[in-house]
Chain A
Amino acid sequence: MKKIGCYFPESFQRAFIRKGMNALKITLLIFLTSAFNMAAFGGTPDSGQQGVQRKIAGLVTDSKGLPITGATVTVKGTSVGALTDVRGRYEVAIPDKAEILVISFIGMKPQEVRIGVSSIVDVMLAEETFGLDEVVVIGYGTQKKADITGAVSTVQPDKLQGINQSVSHAIQGTMSGVTVIQNSGQPGSGVEIRIRGAGSINDNSPLYVVDGIIGSISNLNPADIESMSVLKDAASAAIYGSRGANGVVIVTTKKGKRGEKATVTYNTSQGIQQAWRRPSSLTAEERNLIHKEALTNDGTPTSESIWDYYNNPTNAITRTDWFDEIFRSGYISTNDLSISGGTQTSNYAFSLGVLNDNGIIKNSSYKRYNIRFNSQHEIVKNLTFGENISLVFTDQNIIEASGSYDGVLSAALFNMRNTPVWEDQSKGIYGLPTGDFPNPVASLNSRDNVSKNTTAGGNAYLEYKLLDLFTIKTDFGYNWGFGKNKNFKAIALNGGRGLNQNTLGESYGLSNTWIWNNTISFDKRFSKHHVAGLAGMSMEKGLYEWTNTGTAKDFSNQDPALRYFNNAGTFPEHPSGSADDYSLLSYFGRLSYEFADKYLFAANIRADGSSKFPEDKRWGIFPSVSGGWRISKENFFENMRDVISDLKIRGSWGQLGNDKIRNYEYYSTITTVGSPTLDGSAFTAYAQNRFANTEIKWEVTTQTNIGIDMGFMKDKLYFTADYFDKETSDILVQVPLVSSLGVGVAPYQNSGQVSNKGFDLGLSYRNRDKEFKYELSANLSHVVNELVTLGVAGAKEIFTADYKNTMVGRIAQGEPIGHFYVLNMVGIFQNQAEIDSYKSSSGARIQPAAVPGDIKFEDRNGDGQISADDRFNAGNSFPTLTYSLNATADYKGWDASMLLIGSQGNSIFNGLTLGGTIMQGTSYNNGPAILDRWTAGKPSATVPRVTVKDLNNNRYYSTMFIEDGSFARVKYLTLGYTFNKGVLATSFSHLRLYATLQNPLTLTKYSGYDPEVGSEGGFSNNMYGVDKGAYPQARSYIFGLNVTF
């Protein structure tokens, strides 16, 4: 087998010369044949040097040449080892096949030394500098952290704690300037990442790069991650030009190490999860009290039939706690197995991961299976071939959690508690809901909504090092994704609106994306100069094809096994389907220069051509420059180095683009628009449903960044600060059209300008000198966002975020993007005199319909009446301040860690206030907060009187619905123990047990289910925090095991 590994490359080389240009075909060929090579590299790692058992001796010193006493010298992969004596000397008898010595000492960087023929191995250990020599992955390359001139955050996998459903979940709170927004606690649901605020009115999600290939991280297994870098400023991201405006997240997956025996790692974690907060609603008796009081307040005569309902004693019996009926103890587990290793010339890694997440609301679940393989081979000297292959399968059971009208979380609040779950369970008849909301149990039981996705992707590359100066690389990536959603809704007798008939709809999507990167880079040091550069091009093409079957109805048998189209009775809808494609062609370059490790300079340029823009507007050129000064390297600084071990100031400027809009925006299309009944049957209908904009072009973000890095006491204390000023112009604005234009979809126009200014701070303190080692780190980010102008003639504002057919959000000039726009509740009218004295300039009462106990609204525009014109910016939906605190400690075998995250300055529109505190007719139950209502005997300043007629319009969206969404949450609390090698069977090299509490503590004033509301509901790009009853985050109790063989 090994021969294949050796000979194949030669034949490849010949083929390469012969066929010359057709590298694409060859790359694919290698990609395929690599599967054969795997067994060779995976099964029998190269044995390396062999010999008889012998002794090796040497001296261990620090960087100044002083001997180190008590350093540990071990033979890697064995328990053989020795300590250095007071003179720093050691002697160790090495077994057969020993390859590597590991020398370590507290406060020093461990070092591995390959054992050669010599029996003397002297080692100089460097002091741990805490990261400055750390290699950071940047666009199309790597850089030492010390040399970075932009704003880059990194995170290592050992910082990821607990069970993370996705990579995005895992990085929450680990980096400054990176805000992770949880949209829902529903298993398998999305998480959004925002870097330095919302730069655009459009899609603000960053660009994701996995192992050098632009893609997605949503289905990555967090356990596979080696490192992540986030490029925050323009200079760092500029090499990604057109799509870096919202920042770039670069993920590198775990690789095997050359010359290392196969290592098998198995991690498992098992957890129970529960709702961290348990809401409640009025009992039947309390509901009777409130509703009768409301009817009395409205003067509804007691002769009206509605009173009969409350006078009927059976309606005063509380039969059901709907929250008990929908919540459960969920179960979550992860199982990850990985095998990695290498030979002298190759390395490989294989991993298998299974996530099983059964959510805290019944019938919600998510399973994910990840398989990943990568290997690298130096097929001849200086020519490396490598590939990454990933397979992901997901299976999600989706419940209707948060719809304005049909979400079970709202339904559980609004359903009456005298209603039983079942009217007659033997006949399958549910307790009949009184209003629009379904019986929550019926909704959960009747919905059989399953999404299954398969993604297969990977990349293969060839890298050639020329003259130790140039590196030439070609890298081809391909991603294939297939997703299917099958949504069956069974009849639930009495279940409520929409559950009276069975329906089946299926949809399928197939995506094919390929990307080809070709780069040439060089790196040269001469005397004190260090010059490096990169030039490259990239081609990318994607095609997404979808089919939607339309809805079939009237299944005569609802057996789960029969929920397929063959068994449907009628097919009233036509299927639909279409395709979307895009392509991108890019050329880019980078040049960096350093002098004496003190003066750093870099420049980037990228030109992108995107198919999303018309031919004459297609190309955008995005430049950037950056510089840094390592003051601590200057001679004059020498005296201060004992205290300030590192000091660097950085500055950068650059421009980036954004093309995250629909494809074909410069075409006006004519599409199917329903199927009216004509001539007695369905007729295919077409219409133009959107206008084209042939002038559309790139959105451009210009960002300036100033940063400082400071290390104290040999960098034990490290401080990083960045200030940024980010201005996005030519924003692609989809200004809502007047309906009289007769199209449903507004075209994008280049217009508008958004400003984001703020700072990112990071502070860490590490002490690893003693046996008790600990590290504290804190991040804090602040961003001020403002829409400078919408730029469209006549358009001052865009209303957004619909809650029950009224827009609660707004995007307007001079205000932060996505703020809440409602009336101002001044207070509650306590008596008639207050109502009478609330007058306009003309002397008329401003709220003539009000009676004591009603809400007093502010007449902000002073026109003497309360109307939509009195709405104002009542709070920002995006936090202005986010922070995190991470603490880890270990002592002997014990380790403990904690992560706290927080957000400040964001508001939440609590949709559940409507109905929870304000009556929505007599068909709905209310939340317990309504018990604090205003009454003549017990006045309230915050909750109005109860009324169904509501002549004063207390229900108008006002500041009563807006709550402070700030929170501080302990995300994880972990305690672990790693077993001493001595107690382990020899085949284990590492065994750790741990327990994690996830979300053990949340501090918030917010009264809804969960302050992490996110953007569930579909206005993700500019509005957060509209709580329609968001699926809450779970509190989990997790136990886990890490074992390495």
Chain B
Amino acid sequence: MKKYFAFLVIIVALASCGKDFLNNEPHEFTDAVFWKTADQAESALAGVYSPLQDEEALGGEDWCGMEAFSDNGYMNDNYSDYISMTEFKATQNIEGDLDRWAYVSYYKTIKRAGDVLANVPGMTMDEAQKQRILGEANFLQAFSYFQLAARYGGLPLYDAKNSASSLVRATEEKTWEVIEADLVAATGQLAWDHKEGRPGLGAAYGLLAKVYAYRGKWNEAKTAAEMVINSNRHALHTDYAAVFTMENENISEILWGLGARVGEYPITPVLMLPNNVWNGTHPEPLGEGWRLVSATNAFYNAYQAGDTRKAATVAKRGVDVVTYNGSTDVLQAPNNQSDVVCIKYMSPYAEEYSSWAAGLNVPALRYSDILLIDAEAIMMLNGGGPASRTTGVAAAAVPFNLVRTRAGLPAIASPNFNNLMYERKMELAFEGGDRHFDLVRWGLAAEVYNSLPAEGTYKPVRTFNPAIHKLMPYPQREIDNSGGSITQNPGYSGAR
């Protein structure tokens, strides 16, 4: 019988094997094993870029959608909660798609940039490479904060060492200070030379100039813009339309373009592409253009005669000729609510419609924007500006006319603020919503928007109240998920 007690012995023996048996480590990197090599730092930096390419973020719907807030365009698709915000009727932001996910994506970039900035400085690697990595991280974090601050005002600031910081909104002032500081740091870390899809020093100074302009720091804006201009590293391409083609997606005019490749996000071209371009008059794969955002007739009619940007930016059905899927003919596009569509990013589909993702880089920051910021700063420093819109400032002529004459328009010797407004509107239309942000920061949104007559049912009469609508309503889910520590903007439902 004794031999069968072996069972018991086994059981007792097993009791001693517990500790290691229960230790299982994940089959993925942990903080303890990551952040060791330069390649890991590079792939962590790539992780900072990756959220920007999401369908709703910089590479997609929100970047396009912001144009619907201005007088240039409207939301052609049925995103009713988004439309209600663009019509300044929303009492809160329960939009569940474009704006919602763009917010999430920008914060992923902010956090990942923060982690790179916290971990990479202590790593051993080539110093130049390290500085570039840190510079790009600083730039991308600033860019993302900038996008969100322009929409919502003060923001929760990511702090790798203090998660509580993400649960409350910093003041608007503090938020812009962080953006500035990130960019100032980036200007000390980046070089003029950069590879495709990455920012260089031109992008850092350029965005810094824009940020100073948003804050009304005109001397600083001028200095930063002229760092770019005087570097002689950047120039305008001769043909405005050609800037938005695959061949030129990485020219020096593009200070920073978000990288794209065929078959992958970002998908700006298909988002703007009209639906049913030929309506049966020529072959095409039906129903492919998402026509998310389109242009108003008012925008189409606002072009000055001879402005070559018009044919590069918009086309009117039954009137203008476009090239698409191997055919060149008068545009049909019956599924757009207005007569006008944005064709700025249509060139990848000229020969053949390929797929959702045509692979065109997103022109996130262009040289002409910085030239106009320089001109604006000079005007502001010389008696021009929104308050004295007809005051000509000759000193602003050089950067101003570089942009204007490239568009085929005659130079203006002493441009005034009205001239500048026209140039910014036409030069930067359908590139992420500059028109709306400009009108808001100039304090002219109410004047411009509220005087527009209704156009169809897609662009009704709107009432912009600067006290409320200068900022968008804060995403409700963030308020809910914070348990109320993140607060709503003034004038909206639930605001304190």
Bound together, the chains give a CA A683 to CA B97 distance in angstroms of 27
Does A797 interact with chain B (Cβ within 8 Å)?
yes
**CB-based contact B31/A474 at 8 Å:** no
Closest to A545 in B: B27
Interface residues of B in 20-55 (CB under 8 A from A): 21-31, 34, 40, 42-44, 46-53
Given A580-B27, A737-B481; A686-B96 close (CB under 8 Å): no
- The contact of A738 among B7, B486, B493, by CB within 8 Å, is B486
Given A585-B22, A686-B47, A796-B483; A670-B91 close (CB under 8 Å): no
- The contact of B29 among A539, A570, A669, by CB within 8 Å, is A669
Bound together, the chains give a CA A738 to CA B156 distance in angstroms of 10
Minimum C-beta distance from A70 to chain B (A): 50
**CB-based contact A680/B486 at 8 Å:** no
Residues of A with C-beta under 8 A to B480: 797, 799
Minimum C-beta distance from A494 to chain B (A): 6
Bound together, the chains give a CA A668 to CA B35 distance in angstroms of 14
Minimum C-beta distance from B1 to chain A (A): 7
- The contact of B50 among A300, A687, A796, by CB within 8 Å, is A687
Bound together, the chains give a CA A684 to CA B41 distance in angstroms of 11
Given A23-B10, A583-B24, A742-B107; A685-B50 close (CB under 8 Å): yes
Classify chain B's interface size: 35 or more
Does A739 interact with chain B (Cβ within 8 Å)?
yes
**CB-based contact A609/B22 at 8 Å:** yes
Does B329 interact with chain A (Cβ within 8 Å)?
no
Q: What per-residue 1/0 map shows which CB atoms of A790-802 lie under 8 Å from chain B? A: 0001111101000
Does B287 interact with chain A (Cβ within 8 Å)?
yes
Does A158 interact with chain B (Cβ within 8 Å)?
no
**CB-based contact B40/A686 at 8 Å:** yes
**CB-based contact B50/A673 at 8 Å:** yes
Bound together, the chains give a CA A578 to CA B103 distance in angstroms of 29
Which stretch from A88-96, A496-504, A998-1006 is at the chain B interface? A496-504
User: In this complex, which of B31, B47, B195, B493 has the most chain A Cβ atoms within 10 angstroms of its Cβ?
Assistant: B47
**CB-based contact B49/A685 at 8 Å:** yes
Bound together, the chains give a CA A663 to CA B96 distance in angstroms of 31
Residues of A with C-beta under 8 A to B478: 738-740
**CB-based contact B26/A677 at 8 Å:** no
**CB-based contact B166/A740 at 8 Å:** yes
Bound together, the chains give a CA A735 to CA B475 distance in angstroms of 18
Does B11 interact with chain A (Cβ within 8 Å)?
yes
Minimum C-beta distance from A183 to chain B (A): 24
Residues of A with C-beta under 8 A to B285: 493, 500
**CB-based contact A679/B263 at 8 Å:** no
**CB-based contact A16/B6 at 8 Å:** yes
Bound together, the chains give a CA A999 to CA B441 distance in angstroms of 65
Q: What per-residue 1/0 map shows which CB atoms of A454-483 lie under 8 Å from chain B? A: 000000001010110000101000000000
Minimum C-beta distance from A307 to chain B (A): 12
Given A738-B156, A742-B107; A670-B24 close (CB under 8 Å): no
Residues of B with C-beta under 8 A to A520: 7-8, 11
**CB-based contact B14/A738 at 8 Å:** no
Interface residues of A in 673-708 (CB under 8 A from B): 673-688, 691
Interface residues of B in 465-486 (CB under 8 A from A): 475-478, 480-486
**CB-based contact A678/B49 at 8 Å:** yes
Residues of A with C-beta under 8 A to B42: 683
Residues of A with C-beta under 8 A to B104: 739, 744
Does B220 interact with chain A (Cβ within 8 Å)?
no
Minimum C-beta distance from B481 to chain A (A): 5
Which stretch from A50-58, A864-872, A988-996 is at the chain B interface? A864-872
User: In this complex, which of A299, A806, A807 has the most chain B Cβ atoms within 10 angstroms of its Cβ?
Assistant: A806
**CB-based contact A743/B111 at 8 Å:** yes
Q: What per-residue 1/0 map shows which CB atoms of B166-210 lie under 8 Å from chain A? A: 110000000000000000000000000001111000000000000
Given A676-B46, A676-B49; A663-B26 close (CB under 8 Å): yes
Closest to A434 in B: B287
Residues of A with C-beta under 8 A to B444: none
Given A868-B92, A868-B476, A949-B457; A466-B11 close (CB under 8 Å): no
**CB-based contact A742/B110 at 8 Å:** yes
Interface residues of A in 823-882 (CB under 8 A from B): 863, 865, 867-869
Minimum C-beta distance from B333 to chain A (A): 10
Residues of A with C-beta under 8 A to B48: 687
Residues of B with C-beta under 8 A to A953: 80
Does B230 interact with chain A (Cβ within 8 Å)?
no
Minimum C-beta distance from A444 to chain B (A): 19
Does B13 interact with chain A (Cβ within 8 Å)?
yes
**CB-based contact B46/A685 at 8 Å:** yes
Closest to B485 in A: A794
**CB-based contact B31/A668 at 8 Å:** yes
Closest to B1 in A: A466
Given A520-B11, A572-B264, A738-B166; A863-B493 close (CB under 8 Å): yes
Given A682-B261, A806-B94, A869-B494; A687-B481 close (CB under 8 Å): no
Minimum C-beta distance from A872 to chain B (A): 15
Does A266 interact with chain B (Cβ within 8 Å)?
no
Does B334 interact with chain A (Cβ within 8 Å)?
yes
Q: What per-residue 1/0 map shows which CB atoms of B82-121 lie under 8 Å from chain A? A: 0000000001101011001001100111111011000000
- The contact of B14 among A537, A679, A797, by CB within 8 Å, is A537
- The contact of A474 among B7, B198, B287, by CB within 8 Å, is B7
Given A676-B50, A685-B47, A686-B44; A740-B26 close (CB under 8 Å): no
Does B259 interact with chain A (Cβ within 8 Å)?
yes
**CB-based contact A582/B24 at 8 Å:** yes
Given A741-B158, A742-B110; A664-B8 close (CB under 8 Å): no
Does A581 interact with chain B (Cβ within 8 Å)?
yes
Minimum C-beta distance from A592 to chain B (A): 21
**CB-based contact A572/B7 at 8 Å:** no
- The contact of B11 among A383, A518, A676, by CB within 8 Å, is A518
**CB-based contact A678/B456 at 8 Å:** no
Bound together, the chains give a CA A585 to CA B24 distance in angstroms of 13
Minimum C-beta distance from A570 to chain B (A): 6
Residues of A with C-beta under 8 A to B305: none
Closest to B2 in A: A17
Bound together, the chains give a CA A830 to CA B115 distance in angstroms of 58
Bound together, the chains give a CA A804 to CA B31 distance in angstroms of 36
- The contact of A678 among B6, B198, B286, by CB within 8 Å, is B198
Does A667 interact with chain B (Cβ within 8 Å)?
yes
Bound together, the chains give a CA A663 to CA B28 distance in angstroms of 12
Bound together, the chains give a CA A806 to CA B114 distance in angstroms of 30
Residues of A with C-beta under 8 A to B26: 663-664, 667, 669
Residues of A with C-beta under 8 A to B21: 539, 541, 583, 585
B residues with CB within 8 A of A: 1, 3-4, 6-11, 13-15, 18-19, 21-31, 34, 40, 42-44, 46-53, 78, 80, 91-92, 94, 96-97, 100, 103-104, 107-112, 114-115, 155-156, 158, 163, 166-167, 195-198, 259-264, 285-288, 334, 355, 361, 456-457, 475-478, 480-486, 493-494
A-B contact pairs, 22 of them (CB 8 A): A23-B6, A493-B285, A518-B11, A541-B21, A611-B23, A618-B22, A668-B30, A670-B28, A671-B28, A673-B51, A674-B50, A676-B46, A679-B259, A683-B49, A685-B46, A686-B46, A686-B47, A742-B166, A743-B111, A806-B96, A921-B78, A923-B78
Task: List the 3 closest pairs (A to B, CB-CB), nearest first.
Answer: A742-B111, A805-B96, A794-B483
A residues with CB within 8 A of B: 13, 16-17, 20-21, 23, 298-300, 304-305, 383, 432-433, 462, 464, 466-467, 472, 474, 493-494, 496-497, 500-501, 518, 520, 536-537, 539, 541, 553, 570, 572, 578-585, 587, 609-611, 615, 618, 663-664, 667-671, 673-688, 691, 735-744, 793-797, 799, 804-807, 863, 865, 867-869, 920-921, 923, 949-950, 953, 955
List 17 extra interface pairs beyond A16-B6, A472-B4, A500-B285, CB under 8 A: A433-B287, A572-B264, A667-B26, A671-B28, A677-B264, A678-B259, A685-B47, A686-B46, A687-B47, A687-B115, A735-B481, A738-B156, A738-B481, A739-B103, A741-B107, A742-B110, A867-B494
